[in-house]
Structure 1
Amino acid sequence: MAQNTRISGLTDELIQSILKFDPATNKHAYKHAKDIASRNLRGHQYARTNQFEVTASLAGLDEKFRIKSRDDLADALQVRLQKLDGYTNKYKPDLLSLLLQLADRPLENTQVEALELLRPPSPPPPLTWSEILHDDPYSDEEIWKDVDYGGDSSGDDRTPKKRAKLQASPPTSVDGDESYDPESCVTSADKELVAKLEAAQFWSSVASERDSEFEITELQAVRETLFMLAGLQTNLYQIDKKQHNIRLNSKYVLNHARPATMGHLLSQFAHTGNCVGQLRQWTGKVSTSPLIQTFEAAVRKRLLLFDRSLSTLQHEHLIPQAPIPVSLLQLYSDVQTLSMPILRLSRIVSDIEPQLLKNPFSHLEALFEHTTLSQMTLEVEVFSYMSGVFFECLQTYLKPIRRWMEAGELGSDEDTFFVFANDSSSDTNSLWHDRYVLRRDGQNKLRSPSFLQPAAKKIFNTGKSVVFLKELGIYDTDSHALAPEPHVDHATVCGASNEMPLSPFPELFQTAFDGWIRSKYSVASTVLRNYIFKTDGLMHVLNVFEILYLGRNGAVFEDFASAVFERIDARRRGWSDRYILTELARGVFGTVLATSNADKIVVRSMKAKAQGKSVKGLAAVSIRYALPWSLQNIIQRSSIFVYQEVFTFLVQVYRVKYLVQRLRTRRPAKPRSNLYYKLQHRLTWFIDMVRSYLTETVIFFTTLDMNTSMEKAEDIDEMAHIHTKYTMKLHERALLSTDVKPIHKAIIEVLDLGVLFAQAKSTDHKHDAAPKTKKTQLSGRKSTAPVLVEDVSDDDEDAKSGSDDGVKNRTDQSPREILKMVDREFERLLPFITAGLRSVGRVGAEPMWEQLADRLEWAGKKDRVY
């Protein structure tokens, strides 16, 4: 009831503030307004703001900022939301909801720089003594003068006596008196301490007694040994500067040890000192290679750590915290433990020093091998030691790799890098394959550390991808700065624990290094791959090549071939005009290709000496398709020749099919012989089998495998490799390679038999269709049909000259005799082809060759005697 009463009172106040009249004057209007207000207020009792919706809205706003590349705005929002988490207030969701509703396009209208205006001014720095002294220094001479505290006091009678005493004291330097004696500041020396110090200098006694032995204490031997290991001059050990060798001075002996025993032990110390001394001497040399300089700096760092360990041992013997026994044997054990890693390092330096001039990264390989070996032998300290030196030196070698993979540039130290510019002025259509190459030695081995060679190809391709993108003008130099670079150090590879990792070090390193490579490889390769596939349309161009060269659309390919054959059979002088053939090809292939693609077709031709007598003359016609320079790095020039050879082979098959089909359409003047139908059937079968083998088996399955692999390719190098492998496989399966050249030559001879068969029947048909009045005159003439003879010329020369490849005119044979000769040659060539296909198929070359042999022999099994 109290709540309703309060709401009623507030409603009355609301109505009076809006209507502005007295309820007593117009009760009906006032009651009507109160009913309306009460009804609306009861219908709109809003609940509190949903804090989860507010949180979701803020998260969505943050995600929107980051998608729109406004990470600065998103980070600023997150910082302020984190600060709000520390405040507890029940109205906080309402306030945040209000701010969200008041927001007006924050992505476009917000400037992060304006937030600096809200930052409170920083408090002034605290006042320091240096600032105080700078303004008011206390070096004034007046503050050092004596002050007369009794100048105005009542005790003036005693003042002269005090001043007299002060004047009797020696003058100070402040008064400028130079008669001050400096010996008054020197304290007297302790004679016993001086005697002990002189006794400790045992070498002074030996100097007076050169020919006699001198006994020293074990503590003195320990001290001299530690000095020697630290590279300092000692008397117990003599340093030969010419031989760079440390020798033991035999004049000193221990009174409680045999000289031989002591000499052997101290010789072991001298050997350790020799190894460490050689390491110190090597670090003093000047080197110009950044790789060797980094290695020298890492060695100096380890020498400094070793010297600090020796200083700790000296401190334990000179100022022990508790009484300890002085023992050279214990010192030897301690030194062996301390020096074991650095002795390994000294051995590495002595082994690789002669090779550093020829192989500046040999120390990386040696460190990698010793790190792996120490892990295998479970030497934890040596493993950590070698691993640390290795990763320090590796960072310098990663600098040119990073520059190459991020910017596509070779620095001034490219002589130590395994990538170099072979031809910086090469054309862009061969940029990927010719401009940059891998550096190799005389044995054709890659000049890079052996542990990096598995990733060398990916490093090489990443840099070339960056150069490729720069040539295309689409490379963003700041793309690598957005993603954090993984670290390649001991903690990342082997873990932060001091324990030995279980996995082998080479595997751990390769995993970490592959992650480092992937962080840079994915950026350039992904952008370039998308450009090649989407912008340049690689797969679309490959489909166009299938239509132009490989007869993917058999109807359109046959239309173009038939149009060329008609011009050849018409014996027009300009049948091979490249402009006419180009327009013909664009018109025919333009029915299935876009206009922009059809306009890129160019037909080239060479003048043939004889038309129609041999299918080899068709090699004079070739097709070219204009490719962008980026795709020419994938579809290389050598691959175009393979496409052209397959195109020529298909056209040759279609030529014989075209001639044989024309014989079927003609109506014979007299019944034809069984030999004619036999040859027509066998030639038709042979042509159909060869055409079906080329298009439906070779081209279809080889192209299908290539398209599947091309979709998975990551970079241009892999794309080019897949396409080159595809053309090689296509060239081999289409019987165009050198290994099966005799089989291909036999097939061409059979195709020439088809041409000869068609020409012979065409001549016979003309004789049969001639008028009877001229039959007697023509009957005396002999046929001019060409006949096939053995081919001894080279195929390439025949293709260029357009010769008839052994087919010459014979005037002494009738058409019937020519048909018999064609039948004999066919019977001779077909077994040779099938036997050859089976023999090369059995050795594991291509199983589809045996399938082709089975198809070709199928008709031969149905032969009858005619």
Structure 2
Amino acid sequence: MAHTARLDALAEKLVTTTTHISQNDARFQALRRIAVHGISDQRHVRTNPFTVQRTLAGLLEKFIVLNRDDLAEALQDRLDQLPSSNKWLPDILAFLLQLSHRPTEETHLEDVKALGLPLIPRCEVTWEQILAEDPLDEEGIWDNVDRGYHSSGDDTTVNEELHSEHTTSTNATSVNEDLLAIAKLHLTRPDPSLLDDIVNFRKHCQLPANPSEVQILSELTLIREIIAMMNGLPSLLHQRDEASHALHIRAKITVEGVGVSTMRSLLNSCVRMGTNLDFLRRWCACKQKVAHLESIQAAVEKLLGALQRELAALERSYVYPSMDTCVSIIKVFSELEQLVRPLTHLSTLIWRHQKFVSDGMASFSFLNALYDQVCMSHLSGDGAFAAVAKVLWASFDTYLRPLNNWIQSGSISSEDSDNFFIIDAKSDCVAGKMWHDRFSLRTSKNGETFCPKFIAPFVHRIVTIGKTKAFMRLLDPAVGIDSVTYGNVPFLPTFDDVQRQIAEHPCLPFPQLIEDILDKWLISAETSGKCIIRDTLMENYGLRSYLMAMPYVFFARDGTLFQSFAETVFRRISYNSGMWQGDSFLLTELAQNTIGNAPGVDTESIAVLLQPQGEGSSQLESYVTQKLSTLRLKYAVSWPVQNIIEQGTQKVLSAIFVFLLQIYHIKFLLSPELFSFRMCRSAGFQISKAMAAAIQLRFRLICFVDILIAHITTTTSSQSQMMRSQMESADSIDSMANIWTAYVQRLETVLLLSLNLKSINSAIISILVSGEQFANIWRNFIQSSPTCSQEISSLVRAHSQNVDISTVEQAIDKHFSFAVAGLRAVSRASGVAALEALAERLEWNGG
């Protein structure tokens, strides 16, 4: 669509420039269709570079056969020097071959070599050289001096110089002096006496000094004075108030047969129109600091010039009538009212605009008021619509130029930075945060965007298009994408486009017309860059590989590798708890050797960090579940991918990984102990009620952690698959970033890691800590009891932890009930069905 619109625009300009006919002409559409067909004709294919290469090779061979080895060597040397990167090189060479004519006979190497020689600039003559040849102190050099233009003696001596005999020095001069004298004959000097009659007439027509005396004038005289007042010239009717610059009627003036009050009412209306025009002339003389206000000034000056020409034509119709004309001041007033109406509207708007407090939005307030006036004129069918709309579009066209530069190049010029709604806030920000941190919106004191209101609906699209171009400019050096391939050069909408839209859709309101025009303009700028930037990030910068590797790294998609990493960490902690005091290098190496072996995972990108615990906590006395909360898993990505996957969101992925470790740690502690009970049962030992309670508690804990692990792995798998499919169909960086953010937020909610679900997460962690306490009781009993006879007493009281099983079970029941109730409440409030399913499974297995 953008290509078709561009062809139509080119065809219209071609027809208008060539035929000089307007678009309203009946022949215009037929000529435009012919031009479009000619432009879009694809029968003229590109030049075949192999054909050009064979032709040049044949030409070289021809030179050698004709014993012109010098030409062959010179041509071959120049062909070797041509840049191979220019895609138009075959077309240029083919064009030169077609222009060539008998090159063997007509080519001279001396002429060819002379083309490459540098031009020797001519030495300018200096005053020192002139004075050295002809000094100014020679005798008699000032005897004959030719006075310049407007010299004091010109008026009396020109004719004498022409008719007098030349002196010896005059005869010796060049002929240029004769030409100068002849030229002076053709000069037209103003004659002040021509204005004497007009001055005397104005003095004769002066009104009496007594303002109460009624002055009767003819209608023709009144028309002449009114037209003079409209032109901003002095007249017999009005005088200016120097303080307010308002115009007032000088005296009681009427015509024969008309009452003074009636005529005064008409003249007051004329004076009000003259006051508005005078205000516009004074405003146009003021210097504006804002570019689009300068454009409004220029458009108003054009309207004033057009009004002046209309007034001159009106005055000419009475001074030199072509037919018998009835002089009517009412008719002239009606014509003037129609001519001045657009300027009256503009004068009122500008006067109100000057009353605004300067808060940085005053110029846009005036632009918004002008836009509202155009909308009202279009809605009411006012005849002033075309003129006022042209003034609006002159300002709008100027305002769109920095926008056009932004959407084409993604840059903001220093000249437009003060009045542009986009700020290059952090030009030195790191590349990984360029999309989110570098550019921001300029807002006013009340929080509104610093732009006209008819641009406000398109602000987000404009910002996105420009940021995309700026982002692609950073990718170009590495990817080699030409700027033409990822963005068409849009044509700025013109006032002709507005008039065409109005003619095609006369019933549409003006705001809808402007919205459609701006929408087409932005579509032409954003059509081709969307898919390219997505494919570039996916293929060249590892976004797709990161999305595929993420489940293996953070979500234990390969359970064997995750189990190997987790159990090694658990054993090292149990053997040497001091290793958890800051040795991140060993953990990083372990993660790279285990999780890094998963398919598609970059081993060098994995890193494990340990955050120090808060003050007052002892790492040696805390449980492993609490120690694991200080672990942070990171996976490095390239800077373009960082603009989509913000570094803050990787903390959530790391928290999911740690949550899995904490849950799996309880399963690791409780799983092997089942075989000890089988040995006791085989020995014929009778299990007591306390022992049965311990077995039941262990079973509940194992079911609890299995349900949590299944919930985490299935949720992350389904959510990750859905996120990858959405990423593949995204059309912009904003879309991909929003998809990623929504994906992380869903994981936070479903996996109970968000801030508003911290209490439920804390309850689950407390259950895991209680499970670790129970596992320590069990492990200490197994290690300290050689026979099964001491099992009951050891289970009733744990000597190392000073916590009995009943206390652990009570704590687990308390936190379990709170967690299940919290899951149900959150599921009902947020509508997340997965949390309701998790609560039911936990209650069914752990009840």
Distance, in Å, in 2 between the alignment partners of 1:843 and 1:437 is: 35
- AA in 2 matched with 1:301: K
- The match for 1:718 is 735
Q: Distance in 1 between matches of 2:219 and 2:89?
A: 81
Instruction: Calculate the TM-score normalised by the size of structure 2.
Output: 0.72
The one of 709, 720, 725 equivalent to 1:691 is 709
**Alignment partner, residue 94 of structure 2:** 111
Q: Which residue of 1 aligns with 2:446?
A: 443
Task: Work out whether 1:830 is the aligned partner of 2:816.
Answer: yes
Any runs of at least 4 consecutive aligned residues in structure 1 with deviations exceeding 6 A, and if so which? 172-175, 194-200, 208-211, 778-782
- How do residues 21-420 of structure 1 correspond to structure 2 at under 5 angstroms? 62-63=44-45, 65=47, 110-117=93-100, 176=163, 204=205, 206-207=207-208, 212-355=213-356, 358-359=360-361, 360-379=363-382, 381-411=383-413, 412-420=415-423
Cα displacement (A) at 1:627: 1.5
Find the aligned partners of 2:714 and 2:823 in 1 and give their Cα distance. Answer: 18
1:534 to 514, 533, 539: 539
Contact 2:211 2:250 in 1 (8 A): no
Inter-CA distance 627–665: structure 2 relative to 1 (3 Å threshold): farther
The offset of 1:759, in angstroms, is 1.7
Matching residue's letter, 2:723:
M
1:642 equivalent in alignment to 2:642: no
Render the CA deviation track for 1:7-31: whole Å, top value 9, x for unaligned. xxxxxxxxxxxxxxxxxxxxxxxxx
The share of aligned pairs that are identical, in percent, is: 25
Contact map agreement 2:433 2:642 (CA 8 A) in 1: yes
CA distance in 1, matches of 2:699, 2:317: 108
Look up the SS of the partner of 1:486 in the other structure.
coil
* AA aligned opposite 2:822: G
Q: Equivalents in 2 of 1:480, 1:683: separation in Å?
A: 60
Find the structure with the greater CA-based Rg: 1
Alignment gaps of 5+ in structure 2: 1-40, 53-87, 103-158, 166-194, 613-617, 682-686
Answering whether residue 566 of structure 2 is matched by residue 561 of structure 1, we say yes
Task: Give the CA deviation at 1:231.
Answer: 1.1
Kept after mapping to 1: 8 A contact 2:548/2:600: no
**What SS does the aligned partner of 1:574 have?**
helix
- For residues 96 and 201 of structure 2, the distance between their equivalents in structure 1, rounded to whole angstroms, comes to 72
Between the aligned partners of 1:66 and 1:560, the Cα distance in structure 2 is: 61
Find the aligned partners of 2:596 and 2:778 in 1 and give their Cα distance: 36
SS in 2 for 1:627: coil
Aligned to 1:485: 490
TM-superposed deviation, 1:605: 2.6
Q: 1:481 & 1:670 partners in 2: Cα distance?
A: 75
Q: Deviations over 1:553-580 (max 9, x none)?
A: 3343233222222222334643673222
One-letter identity of the residue aligned with 1:626: A
Confirm or deny: 8 A CA contact 2:490 2:521 kept in the other structure.
yes
State the partner residue of 2:591: 585
The structure 2 residue matched to 1:622, chosen from 609, 618, 632, is 632
Q: Which amino acid letter does the alignment assign opposite residue 717 of structure 2?
A: F
Q: 2:664 aligns with which of 654, 660, 674?
A: 654
For residues 92 and 332 of structure 2, the distance between their equivalents in structure 1, rounded to whole angstroms, comes to: 74
2:504 paired with 1:521: no
**Structure 1 residues 835 and 464: alpha-carbon distance in aligned structure 2, compared to 1, 3 A threshold:** same
CA–CA distance in structure 2, aligned partners of residues 350 and 66 of structure 1: 66
Q: Match of 2:354, SS?
A: helix
Whether the aligned pair in 1 keeps the contact of 2:237 and 2:249 (CA below 8 Å) is yes
Separation in 1, partners of 2:799, 2:327 = 117
Compute the displacement of 1:618 (Å).
0.8
* 1:289-320 deviation digits (Å, cap 9, x = unpaired): 32221111111111111222222222222223
1:71-109 Cα shifts (integer Å, max 9, x gaps):
xxxxxxxxxxxxxxxxxxxxxxxxxxxxxxxxxx99589
Among 736, 741, 746, the alignment partner of 1:729 is 746
Aligned positions, number:
667
1:247 is displaced (CA, Å) by 0.8
Change (3 A) 1:615 1:332: same
- Measured after TM superposition, the shift of residue 67 of structure 1 is 12
CA distance in structure 1 between the partners assigned to 2:676 and 2:794 by the alignment: 25
Q: Structure 1 CA distance, aligned partners of 2:49 and 2:386?
A: 43
Does 2:566 align with 1:549?
Answer: no
RMSD: 3.6
Give the whole-Å Cα distance in 2 for the aligned partners of 1:301 and 1:616: 78
For 1:859 and 1:429, the matched residues in 2 are separated by: 46
Q: Is 1:680 aligned with 2:686?
A: no
Change in Cα spacing, 1:109 to 1:117, as seen in structure 2 (3 Å) is closer
2:534·2:733 contact (CA, 8 Å) conserved in 1?
Answer: yes
- Deviation, 1:177, is 9.5
- Whole-angstrom CA distance in 1 between matches of 2:758 and 2:611: 24
Deviations 1:497-527, CA, capped at 9 Å, x for gaps: 6587222222222222122223333455444
* CA–CA distance in structure 2, aligned partners of residues 394 and 848 of structure 1: 53
Please tell me whether the aligned partners of residues 494 and 508 of structure 1 are also in contact (alpha carbons under 8 angstroms): no
The structure-2 alpha-carbon separation of the partners of 1:634 and 1:734, relative to structure 1 and needing over 3 Å to count, comes to same
Distance 1:297 1:511, change over 3 A: same
Please, which moves more after superposition, 439-448 or 482-491?
482-491
Given candidates 764, 785, 798, the residue that maps to 1:747 is 764
CA distance in 2, matches of 1:205, 1:848: 96
Pick closer, same or farther for the CA change 1:208–1:820 going to 2, 3 Å. Answer: closer
Q: For the residues of structure 2 that align with 1:332 and 1:664, how far apart are their CA atoms? A: 109
Q: Contact 1:203–1:235 at 8 Å: present in 2 too?
A: no
Show CA shifts across 1:687-709 (max 9, x none): 12222222213x23433443333
Q: For the structure 1 residues 60 and 750, does the alpha-carbon distance in structure 2 shift closer, same or farther, using more than 3 Å as the test?
A: same
Q: Is the 8 A contact 1:569 1:612 kept in 2?
A: no
SS of residue matched to 1:603: strand
**Contact 1:406 / 1:480 at 8 angstroms: preserved in 2?**
no
Is the 8 Å Cα contact of residues 653 and 690 (structure 1) preserved in structure 2? Answer: yes
Q: Deviations over 1:479-499 (max 9, x none)?
A: 289945334123223417658
- Matched residues in 2 for 1:825 and 1:594: separation? 43
